[in-house]
């Protein structure tokens, strides 16, 4: 039997009506393999057509999507401990990241505050530099901020993993299409849902078990009391993962969930060091010099809006915001041109562009450009 035959067996069985992850696992455990389960499938199940599986595999190859079945060495081994692990994962990008020695999920509010987004980006940036792979769900707010911070680390070649609640070929939300494409280049995007699956509300809570299951711990940056991020945190606890939370004002609804987690025993986090201290105690992790750095893409996106630089090797710039502003026109200029013409380092320019955008003075344009608000 070839590897393709194995994949087709898995696809045909999981696409059979009324067979989800738990039933799939039970059938394979009972009969020894997906192929034997198909041969001995109880009459109450109507087996999916083999041609449906073949079309899915053909489409995946056309889209450059990896189909990882649970008995494959490339499948993330940490997920196999879940009672309902997905028999199949669809993945785009660097699939070796799925078995990284240490990873951390960063989740939080979609309606995140500016400070929450900045902190999520900064923590993700710092942890990525230390060899920790950041995992999140590519949603608006905290998720996107964490991905962007990770991508900007390691000389703008940092990896990150996005777990989607749609098919791996469907970027969601649509405004994150550029972010999705950059993650595919530098990191990895995965989903358990078939190709072409559109956004459905019940898929997103379901994918949360994978976000926490891939990781050594989960950081919740902002969350209200009814946030799906709390579900991820509680799922992480059930999976034996560490839970971290950023405290906030009790007057801010976006902090009520994280404050509750801290009261219940989550680790209080103010910086990446707080997380590394715990993870170093419980886990072995990669030293930055040992961490494999992916090759930078020639067409990287604009540095993340949420990144706030705070590294010791960046010289202080006096009145740099005003200096940067002087190089921006209403028609738009390339960010690289601002860096070259102003002589200000790229990290400082990125941070100052963030402040100018938050103040409503500039807008982002396609192709790594910015323009004055007219």
pLDDT of residue 322: 65
For the chain, list the domains and their CATH numbers.
Answer: 3-93 (no CATH), 96-290 (3.40.50.450), 320-372 (1.10.10.10)
pLDDT single digits (tens) 306-348? 444 333 333 333 345 567 888 898 888 888 878 877 778 777 7
Is residue 282 very low, low, confident or very high in pLDDT (cuts 50, 70, 90)? low
Q: Between 370 and 303, where is the model more confident?
A: 370
pLDDT of residue 287: 40
* Stretch among 30-39, 281-290, 359-368 having the lowest mean pLDDT: 281-290
pLDDT of residue 109: 94
pLDDT over 80 at 302, yes or no: no
pLDDT single digits (tens) 42-64? 999 999 999 999 999 999 999 99
Distances (CA, A) of 303 to 254, 354, 373: 26, 10, 20
pLDDT over 80 at 74, yes or no: yes
CB-CB contact of 296 with 155 (8 Å): yes
């Amino acid at each position: 039997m070839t590897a393709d035959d194995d994949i087709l067996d898995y696809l045909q069985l999981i696409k059979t009506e009324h067979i989800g992850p738990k039933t799939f696992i039970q059938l394979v455990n009972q009969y020894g393999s997906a192929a034997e389960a198909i041969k001995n499938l109880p009459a109450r199940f109507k087996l999916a057509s083999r041609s449906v599986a073949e079309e899915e595999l053909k489409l995946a190859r056309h889209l450059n999507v990896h189909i990882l079945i649970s008995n494959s060495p490339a499948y993330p081994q940490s997920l196999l401990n879940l009672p309902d692990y997905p028999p199949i994962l669809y993945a785009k990008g660097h699939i070796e990241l799925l078995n990284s020695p240490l990873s951390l999920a960063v989740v939080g509010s979609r309606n995140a505050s500016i400070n929450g987004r900045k902190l999520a980006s900064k923590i993700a940036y710092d942890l990525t530099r230390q060899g920790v792979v950041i995992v999140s769900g590519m949603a608006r707010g905290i998720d996107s901020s964490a991905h962007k911070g990770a991508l900007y680390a390691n000389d703008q070649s940092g990896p990150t993993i996005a777990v989607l609640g749609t098919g791996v070929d469907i970027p969601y939300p649509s405004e994150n299409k550029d972010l999705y494409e950059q993650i595919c280049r530098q990191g990895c995007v995965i989903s358990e849902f078939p190709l072409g699956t559109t956004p459905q509300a019940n898929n997103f809570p379901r994918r949360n078990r994978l976000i926490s299951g891939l990781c050594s711990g989960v950081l919740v940056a902002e969350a209200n009391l009814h946030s799906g991020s709390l579900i991820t945190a509680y799922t992480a606890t059930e999976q034996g993962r560490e839970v971290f939370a950023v405290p906030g004002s009790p007057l801010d609804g976006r902090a009520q969930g994280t404050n509750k987690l801290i009261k219940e025993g989550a680790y209080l986090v103010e910086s990446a060091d707080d997380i590394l201290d715990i993870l170093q105690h419980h886990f072995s992790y990669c030293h930055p010099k040992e961490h494999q750095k992916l090759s930078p893409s020639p067409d990287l996106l604009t540095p993340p809006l949420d990144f706030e630089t705070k590294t010791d090797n960046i010289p202080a710039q006096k009145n740099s915001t005003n200096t940067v502003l002087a190089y921006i026109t209403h028609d738009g200029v390339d960010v690289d041109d601002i860096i070259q013409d102003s002589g200000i380092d790229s990290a400082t320019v990125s941070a100052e562009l963030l402040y100018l955008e938050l103040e409503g003075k500039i807008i982002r344009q396609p192709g790594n450009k910015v323009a004055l608000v007219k």
